[in-house]
Homo-oligomer: A and B are copies of this chain.
Amino acid sequence: MKGFEELRTIKLEDDKVIMIDQTKLPHRLEFYECYTPEQVAEAIKKMIVRGAPAIGVAAAMGMALGAKLAAKNGRNVREELERVGKMMIGTRPTAANIAWAVNRIMKLTKENSDDKLLKLITREVNLMAEEDIERNKMIGVYGSKLIEDGDVILTHCNAGSLATVGYGTALGILRKAREEGKCFRVMACESRPALQGSRLTAFELKEDGFDVSLITDSMVGYVMSNSRVTKVLVGADRILSNGYVFNKIGTYQIAVLANRHNIPFYVAAPSSSFDLQHNYDEIEIEERSYDEVIQIGGVKIAPEGVNVLNPAFDLTPPELITAIICEKAIIYPPYDKNIRLTLLEK
């Protein structure tokens, strides 16, 4: 296999973080280099790197850069990690994975002496990146059981290699199902405003040889009412303990439509995307820039000065979700019981 299956979205090198610049896709495959934690934070905000699992690992890599620079310049490494961690959590508020990654790095600061810390952080960050891929492959193993010959699987936004360190969550399931010889097609919603569906998912799947068709977000009802979709499979930015799912804007309405048409609606995400602490009304839905809505690729498509809404995520309630696939199991309702049972088991 080649293509996106083997590509790494983000990597920590000696003095820098290297990532695929996802704002340039599908036109150019360019790499973007960050030498400071500030540059990593900017890259997350601008969606040069995006996707909940990928930005979690990116945040950890930014902390590793910060720790190294602090040590080199004789500043307090623990204070710098504290500062960078807060900065990373402030970049994008909705995905669970950044806080998860920051907490994981901060734990190291409590248990280890100064001279061990730098080495441990680098090891931990590289481990997190490797674990991300391994978790995605396990999500694939569980999730592919749900895929059948003849399926047409609708997906939204990008939950592929590009949303993770590699392999992908929702799209990882498709990779595994194909490996097992299953024959299916994919339908990708373009996912306005940022067009992750057309720019990233359609690109990633087409490059890797999948049979993928692109639709606008306005066509979901049409394809479902014309029996052209058999399953929905999306990623998640945050999954709460009772099964509420925050994901890319547009996910909720796809779930409502799937429910009306009796089409199974599946969510795939690693345990790092679960948040067992909060209620849904405690989670901020990020409001993104005006320009994302009124222009596309630099071309204005709306009148000057019109009001705009741009929530980047929405909330899908558990009653619309058929199952949630994580690296440990396929979780079925009742979620308020089964999510904790699955995630907290040994």
Contact = CB atoms under 8 A, between A and B. Distances in A.
Interface stretch (A98-106, A119-127, A248-256, A265-273): A248-256
A1 interface: no
A296 B314 CA distance: 25
Contacts of A216: 192-193, 217, 249-250, 293
Interface stretch (A6-14, A173-181, A220-228, A331-339): A220-228
B223 A309 contact: yes
Interface string A190-214: 1111010011001100110001111
A256 B221 contact: yes
Contacts of A26: 302-303
- Name the interface size band of chain A: 35 or more
A50 to B, nearest CB: 16
A219 interface: yes
A344 interface: no
A281 to B, nearest CB: 11
A221 B212 CA distance: 25
Contacts of A299: 296-299
A221 B248 CA distance: 12
Contacts of A218: 189, 191-193, 217, 248-250, 253
A283 interface: no
A250 B223 contact: no
Nearest to A313: B222
A94 to B, nearest CB: 13
> What is the copy number of this chain in the assembly?
2
A214 B257 contact: no
Q: Is the interface of A mostly helix, strand, loop or mixed?
A: mixed
Contact of A27 (B250, B300, B306): B300
A154 to B, nearest CB: 11
Contacts of A214: 293-294, 302, 306-309
Interface in A77-118: none
B206 A305 contact: yes
Contacts of A222: 249, 252-253, 311, 314
Contacts of A260: 256
Given A252-B225, A253-B220, A202 B297 contact: no
B202 A221 contact: no
A315 interface: yes
A218 B305 CA distance: 21
B203 A303 contact: yes
A9 to B, nearest CB: 17
Q: Which 10 A-B pairs have the closest CB atoms?
A: A218-B250, A221-B253, A297-B299, A213-B307, A192-B216, A198-B302, A221-B252, A217-B218, A203-B303, A26-B303
21 contacts: A26-B302, A26-B303, A192-B192, A192-B218, A193-B218, A198-B301, A198-B302, A199-B302, A202-B302, A202-B303, A203-B302, A203-B306, A212-B306, A215-B308, A218-B248, A218-B249, A219-B309, A221-B250, A225-B314, A256-B256, A298-B299
